[in-house]
Amino acid sequence: MTVKPPPTDANIHIDTAQLARGDIRLRAGQKVFLSGEIFTARDAAHQIMAAMLDAGNPLPFDIKGACLYYCGPTPAPPGSVIGSCGPTTSSRMDRYTPALLAAGMKAAIGKGPRSREVCEALMKYQAVYLSAIGGAGALAAKCVLSCTTVAFPQLGCESVKRLEVKDFPLIVAVDPSGGNIYQK
């Protein structure tokens, strides 16, 4: 496998398949536009997924190579694919994230800094943490092409949803080498 060096232009367009394969190197601070399949999951879904993994049970979707977006979208208004879908605070998922990374997750999207344990797990499993723009849920919704509930429908807006996104604007917050925009 040939690993591509990090792009140097200001508008880096990547897809989730590249992240899953690990064939692109990203650096903390880079601005990216992500396209492809991502899954939404918030606190309640993370708790259930962690319990499933602890019990040795498979998750209801393939976590290998997956990108999880810490988001609980609002219902779609008439004529729209999705309602507002801004990020939630990532630190609330920190206790669950190392196990999901160990299970094969390759990227997480949220807002705010991560714990030392999560940053170490990102390096260990060569995954990336991407930061979405807080307060811009309406902008994020414009990037969503489709939305389907795939797990835990009883959780309502916190159910796991599969989103197909195009040019979702993000910043590389923590890279697989340990670069971190939240640390000096």
Domains of the chain: 12-174 (3.20.130.10)
* Cα–Cα distance, 7 to 29 (Å, whole number): 12
Question: With a cut of 70, which residues of the chain have pLDDT below it?
Answer: 1-10
* Cα–Cα distance, 56 to 113 (Å, whole number): 29
| This prediction's pTM | 0.92
pLDDT for 2 equals 47
DSSP string, 67-87: EEE---PPPPPTT-S-S----
Which residues sit opposite 182 in a β-bridge? none
pLDDT for 8 equals 52
pLDDT for 10 equals 65
pLDDT in tens, 49-82: 999 999 999 999 999 999 999 999 999 999 999 9
C-alpha neighbours within 13 Å on the C-beta side of residue 95:
10
Tell me, what amino acid is at 3?
V
Percent of the chain with pLDDT over 70: 95
Which residues sit opposite 89 in a β-bridge? 111
